[in-house]
Amino acid sequence: MMGGSGRDSVALNRYRGMTMTSSHRPQAGSGTGLHIATITHGGRIWGTYLEFDDDPTRPDMYLARLRFDVANPTNLEEAPRTTVIIIEESYQEAVTKARDFDDRQLEALLRSALPD
């Protein structure tokens, strides 16, 4: 099945038929996540990663945020993150939604997550 952006959305789901539990989901803050894009902002290059959160009250839902890793961080720089902005019923749908953001939208989300 092909998604609207020409990506093979079936190939995105490596856990077909599985329910992802907390033991399968990366922990926020661990530096892990699924790379979804690379953008530029403020003369710097940023990798954009999808991080999943666990919500014990909604184990059947996939909640995710975006983390932005700068290519040349300073020692004191922490990766900016959005709040949970993706809520989907499957891992595949969450990944597809994240990959559907265009560079302009990702840059706006990055700006909103950067400290003042």
In a domain, 92, yes or no: yes
In a domain, 56, yes or no: yes
Give the 3-state secondary structure percentages of the chain, helix then strand then coil, rounded to 5.
20, 30, 50
In a domain, 3, yes or no: no
Share of the chain above pLDDT 70, in %: 73
Tell me the pLDDT band of 31, cut-offs 50, 70 and 90.
Answer: low
When divided into structural domains, the chain yields a total of 1
In a domain, 69, yes or no: yes
pLDDT at 95: 97
In a domain, 19, yes or no: no
pLDDT digit string, tens, across residues 91-102: 999 999 999 999
pLDDT digit string, tens, across residues 64-115: 999 999 998 887 889 999 999 999 999 999 999 999 999 999 999 999 999 9
Cα 71 to Cα 74: distance, rounded to the nearest angstrom: 10
In a domain, 64, yes or no: yes
In a domain, 71, yes or no: yes
pLDDT at 21: 39
Q: Which structural domain, as residue segments, surrounds residue 52? A: 34-113
Smallest CA-to-CA distance from 101 within 39, 28, 12 is with 39
In a domain, 9, yes or no: no
Mean pLDDT, the chain, rounded, equals: 80
CA distances from 23 to 26, 86, 87 (A): 8, 20, 19
Give yes or no for residue 12 having a pLDDT over 50.
Answer: no
Chain-centre distance for alpha carbon 48: 7
